């Protein structure tokens, strides 16, 4: 059953985001149901299709609990802690059949939306695997997470993926909030520079580094950036896939999906190394 939002019929988050969460969950469930063998390997991953689907089912449940205000400790946001938490949860949750996992993915996405309909979107949720955030950013987080693993499943099953420009735009609140948390100290230490990131037809934001400290600033008419040293123009889908560790930046450059300019354009090749995908 689809949730209907607040009593007055309004959503606590943009309707487009609620629809994207629901549609993405349904498309992933369709992919999982199409898998004749959930033991098939996922390219670029140690997981099988069944393990990736099980992870999504459990993650959607975790997000639904957080949206409902329930505490669910799950790592501390570092790649190492999240990898441990993932391994531990998959060892306990042993379901790998397509149909039960597909159903759980969609049901828990609906449970998440139902929980949101009973809470203020700008109210804080319990601590997430990526730190504290309000429920509207949590919704963006859920969508981002599903798109990353949905992309993996589509590749494994040789089907079209569901990452598109519109959904990337809905991921940006989470992406901007998460970037300072996933910086790579070994690369950012001692680095002082300013980037401007432009997504074709979409968001624009600045990333400033000062002696290793990272600040991410959305570009608005009322708050222009200081003159950047390097501007990077990216295809939105390429941006998200690079950020999630699914696309090699050099491949995106070769495809013409990335353009750079500025007083220090060579800094563009360094930008993806500043962050570690969780």
- Condensed to tens digits (0 to 9), the pLDDT of residues 20-66 reads 999 999 999 999 999 989 999 999 999 999 999 999 999 999 999 99
Neighbour tally for 223: CB within 10 Å: 9
DSSP codes of every residue in 130-163:
TB--BHHHHHHHHHHHHHHHHHHHHHHTT-----
Question: What is the fold of 15-166?
Answer: 1.20.120
Same topology, domains 15-166 and 183-274? Answer is: no
Domain segments of the chain as ranges: 15-166, 183-274
Residue-level pLDDT at 94 = 96
* Low-confidence spans in the chain with pLDDT less than 70: 1-11, 221-225
Which pLDDT value is given to residue 122? 77
pTM of the model: 0.93
pLDDT value, residue 3 = 42
Residue 255, both tokens = 């495809």
pLDDT at 76: 80
Tokens 């190394």 belong to 273
State which CATH number among 3.40.50.620, 1.10.645.10, 3.40.50.300, 3.30.1050.10 fits the domain covering 183-274: 3.30.1050.10
> Which pLDDT score, from 0 to 100, does residue 120 have?
76
Q: Tell me what pLDDT residue 38 has.
A: 97
């Amino acid at each position: 059953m689809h949730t209907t939002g607040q009593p007055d019929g309004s959503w606590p988050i943009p309707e487009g985001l609620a629809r994207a969460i629901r549609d993405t969950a349904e498309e992933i469930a369709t992919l999982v149901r199409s898998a004749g063998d959930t033991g098939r390997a996922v390219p670029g991953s140690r997981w099988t299709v069944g393990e990736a689907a099980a992870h999504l089912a459990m993650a959607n449940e975790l997000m639904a609990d957080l949206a409902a205000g329930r505490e669910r400790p799950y790592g501390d946001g570092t790649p190492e802690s999240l990898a441990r938490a993932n391994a531990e949860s998959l060892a306990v949750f042993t379901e790998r059949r397509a149909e039960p996992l597909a159903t759980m993915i969609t049901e828990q996405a609906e449970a998440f939306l139902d929980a949101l309909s009973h809470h203020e979107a700008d109210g804080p949720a319990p601590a997430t695997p990526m730190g504290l955030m309000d429920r509207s950013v949590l919704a963006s987080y859920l969508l981002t997470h599903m798109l990353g693993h949905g992309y993996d499943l589509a590749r494994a099953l040789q089907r079209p993926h569901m990452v598109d420009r519109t959904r990337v735009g809905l991921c940006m609140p989470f992406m901007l909030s998460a970037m300072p948390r996933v910086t790579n100290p070994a690369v950012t230490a001692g680095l002082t520079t300013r980037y401007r990131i432009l997504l074709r037809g979409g968001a624009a934001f600045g990333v400033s580094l000062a002696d290793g400290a990272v600040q991410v600033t959305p570009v608005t008419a009322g708050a222009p950036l200081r003159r950047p040293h390097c501007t990077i123009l990216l295809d939105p889908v390429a941006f998200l896939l690079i950020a999630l560790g699914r696309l090699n930046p050099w491949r995106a450059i070769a495809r013409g999906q990335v353009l750079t300019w500025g007083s220090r354009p060579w800094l563009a090749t360094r930008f993806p190394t500043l962050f570690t995908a969780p």
